[in-house]
Structures are given as structure tokens and as C-alpha cells.
Amino acid sequence: MRYRLKSFIALAALSSLCALAQEPTPPGQDTGSNTLTTLAGDFAQGNFVNFYAFVDAVHDSDQVTLNNSGVGSWGVSVGGGVDLFHQFETSVVSLSYRGDYRNYGSTSFGGGSDQNLNFVFTKRVGPRWVLSTHASAGEYFYGTPYYNYQQNGPLTPASNPFSNETRYLSGGVSAVYRQTRRLSYILSGQFYLTRYSYANAIGSNGGSGSAGISYNFTARTSLTASYVHNNFQYEQNSGSALIDSAFLTVQHKFSRRTTASISGGVARAHSQGTITEQALLLVNGQPPLGSVTGPYNVVSWIPSFQGNVSHNWRRLTATATGGQVVVPGNGIYLTSRNLYLSGTIARNWGRLHVGGGGGYYHIVSISNARNSTYNSVSLSATASYMLMRYIGAHATYNYYLNGSYGAYSNVADNRIAFGLNFSSKGIPLTLF
């Protein structure tokens, strides 16, 4: 089977947590294409499975939560994972998992784990139907790793500046019916939830349903119109939100190696509930929070848009995406609009792999906030080299920034990690 990496289409198929402005995946996705969502897909040829493990020395320059002022500390991280792709006659299964446990020598840091699991199963039923199911789950510890904030892809939880740990879970199903060679219909539904680690944090639950129609003008160009309904529910009886969105998306394949899409639309968000100040976050008896005390009932119309591009050239892969979507917030600001820009780039030379990714996220409350904006930045880079058949060495750098909030100034963390890894396929360890 000829392999073509389609990283952003694969991400769209996974529809991870908080795909709040999600559009249906365009029809005609090749069930024979590799849908691995990590940069290990650069090395995959046809059916593929790789198990790996690693041990790292880790140093953080600061504890990247706003209610702490820790100093730098060294630690140890141990973890591993698996990347799997298998094509059957009429179906495809894809799985990627990565996890680690970190422990620091400082009492102000403690220990915790990063976990990320993505699974997708797609099956072609007869000549006209394609059915798919997906699941995504995980947690991150002391800083948000790089993630794609895509309108039709996995929107993982927004960074909470007071939480050491964030956990998320989502799953869903979709069906594509191809009436003619050019015309298709799409139906999908999913659920998602987010939880934070500190007392009185406001987690969120939600579900969405969408319907769309797609028309292929040519083999390379398609237009999709879609409608999405989302329902957000917040913990501690803090409120709820109903979001109705309509989008138009144009996707074009410039070549076998370059694909781009652009979409635009509008979302109507109706947020209502009652919220109180959290005593846990008082500073000298004064509440620094931006959330309103008491009832709120707000209707907002939000322009929603996104553009993304993916380019694969030999052993080089690059993606970029940006836009504005409606999200459940970050556990402090509830229903919010997220203006974002993110991207990845990776290059391998056989034994050597170099990769990077990052994003900027600007959250603006549309429901319950007085001080209505919050910014975060995440950058990552890695280099990995196979020393011998199964054993490699690697080094990683991460930068995290939690923006200022109320009485708290922003906090930035520089994290370096380096160590050894085992790979059953003998390929370098990738960033994610």
C-alpha cells in the first residue's frame, strides 16, 4: 500500500475533547490511509506497530501555576507508549498512546503523570456508507503540552492557570453516506468532559450533534455546509450553555503533498447560571478572580473561522492552523471564544528525527467574566537519534506560559529533558 501521511485529516477523524465547533469530517476519506496521530507516522509504511519506552532526567525552571511561586527543580520521568495502524479489507484501526510518570526532588513540585490516548476505527459498509467511532482520553501535569486547536479536530482542554493536573475524556461516532460521486451527507455525535485537580474547580461536561452536506466540485476541491449543536454543563451548579453553529468549509488539495482548507460561520451561545467567588483563591482576603458573583444570563453571537494547511515533502512534514472557536472555557472562565494559532514541523533522516510544535491561545469569556481575557503559550522541540538497533537518545525542550489573572502575575516555565529510549521498530522517539 502506498503510504501518504495525512496528519491533519487524521486529527479531524479523531474529534477529541471539546470539539465544540466541530464540523463533520469531509467525505471520501481514504480508509487505506495511515491515521497515526503522532509524528511517528513519518516512519510508518503500511501496517505498522511500534512499542517504546523511555527514561529522562527533567528540569523545570518554575512551577507553572499562578497560585504557587516554586523554584526550579530536577526530577525523573519514566514512560512509554505504542503507535499502531492496521488496514483490513474494508476497515482501518488506529491507536496511539503515550504516558509517563514524573517525580521531582522538590516538595513544592510533587509527582504526577502525563497521559494521552487516541483511538479510531473506520469501516466502509457497502459502496455508499463509511462508519467511524473514536475515543480520546488523557491528563497533563504542570503545563499544557502542544495540541492542535482545530475546528474539526481535537480541541483538548484549555490551560487552567491554577491547576496542577487536567483530565479529559471524549468519544463519538460518525456516518457518511455518499449519494453520488460528488454529493455526500454526514451525521456525527460525541460527548466530552474536563476535570481539574484543585478544590472548587469548575469542570465541564458536554455533548454535540452535527449534520452536514458536502459537494466535490472536482477530485481536489470540495465544499461542505454543516450545522452543529453543543450543550455544555458545568460542575457546582455553575451554569450551562447551548451553542448553535453553522459553517461553510472549502477544502482543496493542491498536490499529493499539500492540502488546505478554510471555513467560516457564526455561533450563537446562550449561557446562564449562578456562580460564586472561590475562597481558595483569595489573596489577602481579596478575590482576584474574573468570574462574576451571582446569576448571569447572556446571549452572544460569535464569528467562527479557521484555516489550516498541511504539507508533506519527502521526510518533512509541516502543519499550521489558526482561527476562532467557542469552547467551554478553562474551569474559571466558562463559555468562551478561543482565538488560536498553532503548528508543527518534523523532519527525519533515518536514525535522526527533529520535531517541534507550539501554539498561542487567547481566551475571552462570553458568559461569566469581569476581567474577560486569558492568554497561554506552549512551545516544544525535540531531537532523537538511534544509537543502535533498539536503543536511542533524545533531548526535549518545552516552554509554557500561563498569562496573568486578577492579582496574579504571569508564570513561565522552561523545561528540559534528556534520556534514553527503547523502540521495537528501531525508530527515533518523536515529540508526540
Give 52 or 45, the one with higher predicted confidence: 52
77, part of any domain: yes
pLDDT tens track for 401-423: 888 877 778 888 999 999 999 99
428, part of any domain: no
| Mean pLDDT score, 182-207 | 89
Phi, psi at residue 13, to the nearest 5°?
A: -65, -30
What percentage of the chain reaches a pLDDT higher than 70?
A: 80
Phi, psi at residue 9, to the nearest 5°?
A: -70, -40
Give 317 or 292, the one with higher predicted confidence: 317
Phi, psi at residue 254, to the nearest 5°?
A: -70, -30
**Cα dihedral across residues 281, 286, 291, 292: positive or negative:** positive
| Mean pLDDT score, 219-229 | 95
Q: What is the pLDDT, as a whole number, of residue 70?
A: 65
Confidence band for 305, pLDDT divided at 50, 70 and 90? very high
Confidence band for 5, pLDDT divided at 50, 70 and 90? very low
Is the per-residue pLDDT at 91 higher than 50?
Answer: yes
Residues 58, 197 contacting (CB under 8 angstroms): no
* Spatial separation of the C-alpha atoms in residues 9 and 152, rounded to whole Å: 9
328, part of any domain: yes
| Mean pLDDT score, 267-290 | 66
Is the per-residue pLDDT at 223 higher than 70?
Answer: yes
Is the per-residue pLDDT at 34 higher than 70?
Answer: no
Give 67 or 353, the one with higher predicted confidence: 353
Confidence band for 292, pLDDT divided at 50, 70 and 90? low
Q: What is the pLDDT, as a whole number, of residue 35?
A: 45
Give 369 or 172, the one with higher predicted confidence: 172
The CATH number of the domain where 29 resides is what? 2.40.160
Helix (H, G, I), strand (E, B) or coil at 266: strand
Q: What is the pLDDT, as a whole number, of residue 101?
A: 94
Residues 150, 176 contacting (CB under 8 angstroms): no
Please tell me the total number of residues recorded for the chain in this structure. Answer: 432
Give 30 or 342, the one with higher predicted confidence: 342
Query: Which of 25-39, 180-194, 265-279: highest mean pLDDT?
Result: 180-194
* Spatial separation of the C-alpha atoms in residues 88 and 47, rounded to whole Å: 9
Is the per-residue pLDDT at 43 higher than 80?
Answer: no
Question: Residue 254 carries which DSSP code?
Answer: S
Q: What is the pLDDT, as a whole number, of residue 32?
A: 41
Strands 111-125 and 373-386: unpaired
Q: What is the pLDDT, as a whole number, of residue 47?
A: 85
- In one letter, which amino acid is 204? S
Query: Which of 59-68, 139-148, 253-262, 329-338: highest mean pLDDT?
Result: 253-262
Residue 398 CB neighbours (<10 A) = 24
* Spatial separation of the C-alpha atoms in residues 341 and 317, rounded to whole Å: 18
Query: Which of 11-20, 58-67, 94-103, 162-171: highest mean pLDDT?
Result: 94-103
Phi, psi at residue 218, to the nearest 5°?
A: -140, 180
Residues 338, 366 contacting (CB under 8 angstroms): no
Mean pLDDT of the chain: 81
Instruction: Take residue 361 and report the three cell numbers written for it.
Output: 491561545
Query: Which of 144-148, 214-218, 287-291, 317-321: highest mean pLDDT?
Result: 214-218
Residue 289 CB neighbours (<10 A) = 24
| Mean pLDDT score, 161-167 | 86
pLDDT tens track for 129-150: 999 999 988 888 876 655 443 4
DSSP H stretches of helix in 16-125 = none
Q: Which domain holds residue 391?
A: 7-423
Instruction: Take residue 68 and report the three cell numbers written for it.
Output: 504557587
Q: What is the pLDDT, as a whole number, of residue 216?
A: 95
Q: What is the pLDDT, as a whole number, of residue 45?
A: 60
* Total number of domains in the chain: 1
405, part of any domain: yes
| Mean pLDDT score, 165-191 | 93
* Spatial separation of the C-alpha atoms in residues 180 and 171, rounded to whole Å: 29
**Cα dihedral across residues 405, 410, 411, 414: positive or negative:** positive
Q: What is the pLDDT, as a whole number, of residue 154?
A: 46
* Spatial separation of the C-alpha atoms in residues 328 and 367, rounded to whole Å: 10
* Spatial separation of the C-alpha atoms in residues 265 and 216, rounded to whole Å: 20
What percentage of the chain reaches a pLDDT higher than 90?
A: 45
Residues 117, 96 contacting (CB under 8 angstroms): yes
Residues 102, 75 contacting (CB under 8 angstroms): yes
Burial class (CB in 10 A: 0-12, 13-18, 19+), 126: exposed
- In one letter, which amino acid is 151? Q
Least confident of 19-23, 81-85, 193-197: 19-23
Residue 116's contacts (CB-CB under 8 Å, 6 or more residues apart) are: 96, 97, 98, 99, 137, 138, 140, 145, 432
367, part of any domain: yes
Q: What is the pLDDT, as a whole number, of residue 2?
A: 28
Phi, psi at residue 34, to the nearest 5°?
A: -70, 130
| Mean pLDDT score, 381-405 | 92
Helix (H, G, I), strand (E, B) or coil at 50: strand
The β-bridge partners of 283 are: 286
Is the per-residue pLDDT at 234 higher than 50?
Answer: yes
The β-bridge partners of 171 are: 135, 191
Residues 341, 325 contacting (CB under 8 angstroms): no
Ranges assigned E (strand) in 126-179: 129-141, 165-178
Helix (H, G, I), strand (E, B) or coil at 11: helix
432, part of any domain: no
398, part of any domain: yes
Q: Which of 400, 432, 395 is nearest to 317 (CA)?
A: 432
| Mean pLDDT score, 84-113 | 89
* Spatial separation of the C-alpha atoms in residues 52 and 430, rounded to whole Å: 11
